[in-house]
Amino acid sequence: QVQVVESGGGVVQPGGSLTLSCVASGFSFNTYAMHWVRQAPGKGLEWVAFIRSDANNIYYADSVRGRFTISRDNSRNMVYLQMNSLRPEDTAVYFCAKPLRAYGPYFHSWGQGSLVTVSS
Amino acid sequence: AIQLTQSPSSLSASVGDRVTITCRASQDIIRALGWYQHKPGETPKLLIYEASGLEGGVPSRFSGSGSGTDFSLTISSLQPEDFGTYYCQQFNNYPLTFGGGTKVYFK
């Protein structure tokens, strides 16, 4: 059974940093791309970042490019989202998502989410 | 980035109604579009992939259609458990984008 579990959320001041972690199980993690998606309070879903199975292809939303870094450790079935220069508008629940197919399309299995609050 | 415009932004309907939500892309995305259902307190659920592919376990009252720039999600007979917000999402180009969502209420 596929499981995806995020951790690392919390409250951080504007300009601060935070790293989210996601551990996955129940599938061949090292063959699957992974995504981060977020939802700000009262807002819709926003895709954040993508990493290919071998980490050779990485993409970011325009809103986070240059501030966020996605990475993975296939030996530990982990994917990370390092978030720097955080802004109040980054306040959101961050979801880690396994795609429907290995190369990345569609968000099939989601974690419960990790809340990040950027506030002074 | 490709913009996805959903309509309506909200709708109210009765059990048994046929409901259609539309999604228009700002450029041709062929058939690289998915639909998700998101209920409060739950994780989003993939309903439709590749414009019309029904994800496993999703009831057959859900269907998707369209190609190019115009797409739709139809619920043939609305059930009480179908309340929530529905999103389209394109996978043709990065950055990936979602539509603004359609909130489904019950009359």
Instruction: List the one residue out of A120, A19, A33, A102 whose CA is nearest residue A74.
Output: A33
Q: Of B25, B7, B3, which Cα lies nearest the Cα of B102?
A: B7
* CB spacing of B44 vs A95 below 8 angstroms: yes
The reported pLDDT for the residue numbered A82 is 98
Look at residue A102 in the predicted model and tell me its pLDDT: 86
* Cis amide prior to B59 (ω within 30 degrees): no
| Residue whose C-alpha is closest to residue B62's, from B11, B10, B19, B2 | B19
CB pairs under 8 A between A and B: 57
Average pLDDT, consecutive stretches of 10 residues, N- to C-terminus, chain B (107 residues) = 97 96 98 96 96 97 98 97 97 96 94
Query: Whole-angstrom Cα distance, residue A21 to residue A71?
Result: 10
In chain B, whose CA is at the least distance from the CA of A43? B100
Instruction: Please give the pLDDT value at position A54.
Output: 96
Give phi and psi for A89, each to the nearest 5.
Answer: -75, -5
**pLDDT one-digit tens code per residue, A9-40:** 999 999 999 999 999 999 999 999 999 999 99
Interface touch A44/B96, C-beta < 8 Å: no
In angstroms, the separation between the Cα of residue B100 and the nearest Cα of chain A is: 6
- Written as six digits, the tokens of A102 are 């290995």
pLDDT, tens digit (0-9, with 9 covering 90-100), for A58-90: 999 999 999 999 999 999 999 999 999 999 999
Whether B95 sits inside 8 A of A61 (CB atoms) is yes
Q: Do B91 and A106 touch (CB under 8 A)?
A: yes
Contact residues for B72 (Cβ-Cβ < 8 A; gap 6+): B20, B21, B22, B23, B64, B65, B66
How much is the pLDDT for A67? 98
